[in-house]
Structure 1
Amino acid sequence: MKRGAVFESEEPQKRRRQPQISCDSCRKKKLKCDRGDPCSSCVIRGLVCAGQPAPEQKALRSSPVAPVTPAPGAAIDDSILGRLRRLERAVFGSAAPAGASSDQTLAALGQEMDDRHSPPSEPRRAVVDNERQQTAKYLDSTFTRHGTCATTSHDRVGYRIATVNQFPKTPSSATPGLTPTDDTNAALSAWLMTRDEAFKLLDDFMNNPFHLLPVIHGPSMKSTIDAFYASLDQGIDPNPAHAALILAIAATSAFFYSGYSDVAQIFASVDEATQTSMTWFRSAVGILEQSQPSNPACLEEVQARAILAYLVYNFQGCSARFRFLHTCSIAAAREISLHLIDSPSAEHQPDEATREMKRRLWWHIVATDWMLGLMGGPIDGTYNIHPSHFVVNHPRNINDSEPELSSPSLSHPPTTATVLTCFLQRIHLAEISRAIIDARTGSPDLEPTNPERVARLDSLFAAAFSSFPPFLHPTGAIPPEAPPHFSLQRDVVLLGYHSRRARLHRPFLLHTSPTTANQSSRATCLSSARVVLSIATRLLQSSNAAREPAQTYVARAISRRMGCVIGHMFMACTILALNAGSAGGEDTHAEVADACRALASAGEESVVAARLVRHLVGVLRRYRVEGVDDVEAVPTAPEVSHDAGRQRKADEFDVDLSGMVDEPDFGLDGLWEGILGDNSMAYGWDQVFAGLDTYCGPT
């Protein structure tokens, strides 16, 4: 009886101890669990799946004839493979490529995607975060991104719309751009062009891409302009960033205005266009500075800051203002997560055309940052953006047509000239510049002088030149299908490449040691300097010839962009002058003298060129370079009247034209006077190069 009683009492207890077959979440929510690891219910809800039995226990309980449910992870992998197969069929056709099976192609493509998007030593991050992670991210963004400042009446901008020829011309009337007033709490006021003029200036900006700024999507920008003026018509406060972007584009078009472009009816003269450009520049900067604390960052703000930084570089050089605007561009880009465009966990993915523009904008900022670290000055040997701190693919080599922008798999080979060809080469040059910076040891301001290390770094330039298609070489023929102003874009890129290659080998010019390595570096430095001199002289001569009645927009754009060209040309002249002053350097006398004449002729329009050529001639005379005695008188005459008139206009509008007129930021007068009075040639040339680096800039 006792045994029977025990048996009867133990049966129910065994039933209650039946092993758990559902996960904890499904048991708690009373949901049907497919017993996967993780189960599909938890995957859909983004929850952590836990509580399933061990794999060996599930194997013991499973029936031999029961259907096997694939794990959700496998289903996801199958889905990805299926999408890759469809992509392969769309690109290569239905047949697999010769010599490789479909599985091999997919495996290689999948491996490439994994290598690009995730570190090889870490597991692949899940695309869908769990519920707690999403909540934590939301709380982080609430605290760090979304501002709590309310917009006050003084934060709002007063927009005044009129045709450009109706803008007030004197400070006694309502001043264009920033309204000067003693009341620091007064609201900001800005003069803008009419809607039709805004469209014309945008078309001029888009149709003349000599500026290497392919960061604006034309149709989207036209919609932005329409929405901005519609808001003003309805009495609604528009987004200040939209106003700043419109002003930045207009200021750039006005600065490069020639009198022969599509906007010829907007400006009465080139001088009026230049002054209006400065006015719009100041207005755009003021709008961004005053509205930034109370308005969240947006794509238009980043675009405006990048364009304004580019503009101030062209008329002021690598000044402190340029470096500040560039730093603001980096901060604004990170605010809208431009550095995570191609991250698997990126939220709110836009359409493909917008993503491509974001990639271009980010890489423009990155390339500028890396090249600035190899130009001397206060930030020499440093950069702000580390390559491991962003996940952004390179832009595609395409033209700005809607079909090409909207096709994510389309990218032309490097042998096809597109509007992005020179832009991509600028990115490659920036990557080489970063490698040179990283090779510095001990201190950021110590240039590499180890011959073996310099030779390895120089191989990066050699590899880049060998990979150039024929049309990227200085004398290469431009394809007929190339975009407008491709020749000018190519010359600007080549100036950047050869200037930095000469700078890499420049320390060996000051060494008299006859070692083979030193002589090789000296030869490379002089060769690159001669290429820079040849390209810059040709540009200046074509610009000077274009002052005749048959001038074109391209040549006028070059003359307005002389800050970049002259900076690199001046550096090349100093290198060749040093060689002319050494033994066996008499052959360089004629080419340096010709370059000085080109600079002197350019000085008729460029104050910077006029000042630099006088200092350069003084140094050339010191080293007895023949043929420069007749150069100095050329640029002196126009400096008094022409500059005085421009300075009066600058004073009227409170516009800082120091980089174009007085150039106090560079201090070249004192620099050269110190060199001429110093008997130590090596020390003097070190100071010369330091001053030139501060001017040459990132392009």
Structure 2
Amino acid sequence: MKRRPDAGVTTPGSKRQSRQDPVSCESCRKKKLKCDRGLPCSSCSARKLECSYGGYGPATTPVHATSQTYQRAMLDDRVSEPPRTLQWTPRQDTETHSRNGNEPLLTADWLETIVMGHRVPSAVPATLRAELSQRREPERSPSQQNTTPCDRFPPMRERLASRANPATIYLPLYLPSIAESLSLFRYYCKYLDFQYHLIIPSRVERQIETIYANVARNESINLAHTALLFSITAAALYYQLLIESSDYAEPFSQESTFLAGAALIQSNYITYPTLEGLQATMIIGHHLSNMNLPSSVSPLFVHRSFVSQATSMGLHIVDSPRVVTERLANEFDKTNVELKRRLWWDLVAYDWFIGFLSGPQEWTYSIQPQHMIVQVPLNVEDEEIDHSENGVPLSIPTAMSYSLCRLRLAVVCRQIVDETSYYHLHGQEVPYEKILELDENLQKVRAEIPNFFRFDQASQREYSPIYRERPTLAWQRALIQQGYYSRFCRLHRHYFVRGAKDPKYSYSHVVSLQSARKVLEVKRIMDEEEPVFTPHSSVVWAVMHHVFMAAAILLIDVCFNWDDILAEKRKEEVLDACRMLSRAQQSSPIACEGIKAMMEILRRHWKHEKKVNSHDLQEPSTSSNLTSATANPPQPDIPTPVSLGSKNITFPPEISNGQSTVNHPTDALLNPLPLEDIWTEMLESSANVELNTPDWTDLLTELTNVALPSE
């Protein structure tokens, strides 16, 4: 592997050293260690040895006193036994002292500029912007560097953490400033933690402050706590930048995710898991599951890995008689025990949810209730854990109320899987009596939802002051209601279309329509009523997935009741849902990509016999310019690609010149009309659809399988 010379090591006119000359100091050559050719090198600095190059290094290549912020400590190359903590030693020389002995602040300032540079574009070097825009530029020699203040920031291509070895990367170098870390941490606590509540904020804040205190004292840092910090940073950056500057959201978040993974690898997390490490992986798994994670660390952030690490720590037997006896015989931290219960039941809820969703895991789950003994978490505020034995009734809102209601929904989903999996796996139809019985169970649990999670007028008036004081309760109310109604749609999916014509199954048809309308109503409340959902509900893909499925159900209903006396009203209802999706496309890259994928499936299933004139068909332009695209002459024999984002979606081969195709603008992010035009075309041709009942069921299954929402 080629060695990269340091920027401050060679002069612009110096010649490259001969490959026959030793390139390492004498100590590194004897110990067969990698040498960075500093004076002294990092290996000798870490071991407090005299660093000498004999007659080679300094004689042939002048070495100047380095001004880099940190001198990297040599890490053990054996991944199986990396150090539990990370030691670092700053360079002690005259230039370091000339900077007031406060080099960590300079590095933190550099990192802060990278993290926050999008807010002050003039402070970001061109090389950073080029890297984030995925544009490659040839490397420049030191003599070609400008002398502007921005040159103290190394080029991004040399500082991308994800290009380094996660087992040896020097993590303190990539810590943002403490002010920025605490700002992102508070953003996470305020706008993201309420969805799962995986941390105890006061505890994590102390851990973050300890990390920076240790860095300031040149002491080791706790790698598990560092991983948790980077995971919180990754999630907060992603959702914050989606609103402020979406182009930066994914690359910045990926870098922090990689650093979280690197901290876990260096702490030997797989062999010695910790609660903080589990929290770090679960935060990324929940909030960044739709993002492409760096391949070198991505195996750490999958659900099966979470369950494996949790069982390794004994979270599934937290309240077994043996463990309880041991706990009572010794001093124990009640907060720690309660945190274990919360993490375990969050894993359980997610596992049982995805068992009732389309995909390879459908009709099965990993965590068996007979194979664990863990009490349900207490309904208690974080600060009261040590002072409460039984918590408070669920009718009193706390930080855990939503998680407990979500868990009850998960239990019903598991029961549905238990009762219906045999039929589905053996290719048999679930008896309708079984569907009605499960519907009754789901209705019963929904009726037990606390009043502060309801949408009736009496509850809204009663709890409106609390919603203003604690906006997260209002947002949780929307999520839990949408979660229940979307499960009603799924439970009755196989009888929905049949119920449109057969009175025996009409209950499934009615319940599905009512539930779909409720899902859309909840989304409108998220967008229009106070407190406004933050981050915007359109960036939460679980929300938009439910919305699209509800809109698809209403569309299917129009197709089967196109001659109904209320047909026009139902069409307008579908178009209102479509406009909601269009607005989401414009405000959220996540929604744009997800809706684009679901539209591909919808168009693939859609076949009709409606004829159009040739002037309605236009040749797809190869240019991204909308004006030139509309100026092309008609080409009736060429199907038109539908643009729903950065990529074109070409109509399937079934849509020939004998079928209707529609013109659509180039970018759905800039113009909401394309999606509405497509749905209008579908509604106009609803009387001529060729799909039968099995096709509609397959369509709903494929649409559900686009993503796996976990709410």
Give the TM interval when normalised to the shorter protein.
0.5 to 0.7
> Cα gap change, 1:595/1:272 in structure 2, threshold over 3 Å: closer, same or farther?
same
1:440 paired with 2:449, answer no
The amino acid across from 1:307 in the alignment is I
The amino acid across from 1:328 in the alignment is S
Q: How many pairs are equivalent?
A: 501
- The structure 2 residue matched to 1:397, chosen from 354, 358, 379, is 379
After alignment, is 509-518 or 429-438 more displaced? 509-518
- The structure 2 residue matched to 1:532, chosen from 495, 514, 519, is 519
SS of the residue 1:507 aligns to: helix
2:432 is matched with which residue?
Answer: 451
Map 1:159-558 to 2 at 5 A.
Answer: 161-162=108-109, 163-166=111-114, 169=128, 171=131, 172-173=155-156, 175=158, 178-180=161-163, 187=169, 191-208=174-191, 211-257=194-240, 272=248, 275-289=251-265, 291-292=267-268, 296-313=272-289, 325-346=302-323, 347-348=326-327, 350-400=332-382, 402=383, 404-442=384-422, 445=425, 449-475=430-456, 476-477=459-460, 478-481=463-466, 483-511=470-498, 516-540=503-527, 554-558=532-536
Between structure 1 and structure 2, the one with the greater Rg is 1
Structure showing greater relative contact order (alpha-carbon pairs closer than 8 Å, 6 or more residues apart): 1
Report the Cα distance in structure 2 between the residues aligned to 1:676 and 1:464, rounded to whole angstroms: 46
> Cα gap change, 1:481/1:610 in structure 2, threshold over 3 Å: closer, same or farther?
closer
SS of the residue 2:196 aligns to: coil
SS of the residue 2:253 aligns to: helix
Q: Does the CA-based 8 Å contact 1:157-1:187 persist in structure 2? A: no
1:697 paired with 2:697, answer no
Q: Percent identity?
A: 24
Structure 2 alignment gaps of length 5 or more:
1-77, 90-103, 116-124, 132-154, 611-620, 627-643, 662-688
Q: Does the CA-based 8 Å contact 1:671-1:688 persist in structure 2? A: no
Q: Does the CA-based 8 Å contact 2:215-2:221 persist in structure 1? A: yes
**What CA deviation, in whole Å up to 9, does each residue of 1:492-539 have, x standing for no partner?**
111111111110001002436955541112211221111112212443
> Cα gap change, 1:599/1:452 in structure 2, threshold over 3 Å: closer, same or farther?
same
1:151 is matched with which residue?
Answer: 82
Report the Cα distance in structure 2 between the residues aligned to 1:378 and 1:432, rounded to whole angstroms: 20
SS of the residue 2:535 aligns to: helix
Report the Cα distance in structure 1 between the residues aligned to 2:199 and 2:479, rounded to whole angstroms: 20
1:681 paired with 2:692, answer yes
Report the Cα distance in structure 2 between the residues aligned to 1:607 and 1:173, rounded to whole angstroms: 24
> Cα gap change, 1:212/1:175 in structure 2, threshold over 3 Å: closer, same or farther?
farther
1:580 paired with 2:591, answer no
TM-aligned CA deviation for residue 229 of structure 1: 2.6
TM-aligned CA deviation for residue 444 of structure 1: 5.5
**What CA deviation, in whole Å up to 9, does each residue of 1:4-58 have, x standing for no partner?**
xxxxxxxxxxxxxxxxxxxxxxxxxxxxxxxxxxxxxxxxxxxxxxxxxxxxxxx
Map 1:14-53 to 2 at 5 A.
Answer: none
Report the Cα distance in structure 1 between the residues aligned to 2:209 and 2:166, rounded to whole angstroms: 32
- The structure 1 residue matched to 2:543, chosen from 565, 568, 590, is 565
> Cα gap change, 1:290/1:506 in structure 2, threshold over 3 Å: closer, same or farther?
farther
Q: Does the CA-based 8 Å contact 1:510-1:682 persist in structure 2? A: yes
Report the Cα distance in structure 2 between the residues aligned to 1:535 and 1:179, rounded to whole angstroms: 40
Structure 1 alignment gaps of length 5 or more:
1-146, 261-267, 547-551, 626-635, 642-659
**What CA deviation, in whole Å up to 9, does each residue of 1:358-388 have, x standing for no partner?**
2111111111111011111111111111111
> Cα gap change, 1:294/1:432 in structure 2, threshold over 3 Å: closer, same or farther?
closer
TM-aligned CA deviation for residue 210 of structure 1: 6.0
TM-aligned CA deviation for residue 451 of structure 1: 1.1
Map 1:610-629 to 2 at 5 A.
Answer: 610=592, 612=595
> Cα gap change, 1:532/1:323 in structure 2, threshold over 3 Å: closer, same or farther?
farther
> Cα gap change, 1:157/1:689 in structure 2, threshold over 3 Å: closer, same or farther?
farther
> Cα gap change, 1:530/1:269 in structure 2, threshold over 3 Å: closer, same or farther?
closer
Q: Does the CA-based 8 Å contact 1:209-1:484 persist in structure 2? A: no
TM-aligned CA deviation for residue 157 of structure 1: 11
The amino acid across from 1:467 in the alignment is E
Report the Cα distance in structure 1 between the residues aligned to 2:334 and 2:85, rounded to whole angstroms: 38
The amino acid across from 1:682 in the alignment is T
After alignment, is 147-156 or 517-526 more displaced? 147-156
TM-aligned CA deviation for residue 282 of structure 1: 3.0
After alignment, is 185-194 or 248-257 more displaced? 185-194
CA RMSD of aligned residues (A): 4.3
> Cα gap change, 1:214/1:607 in structure 2, threshold over 3 Å: closer, same or farther?
closer
Map 1:69-84 to 2 at 5 A.
Answer: none
**What CA deviation, in whole Å up to 9, does each residue of 1:575-595 have, x standing for no partner?**
111111113372421211101
Q: Does the CA-based 8 Å contact 1:210-1:486 persist in structure 2? A: no
After alignment, is 226-235 or 577-586 more displaced? 226-235
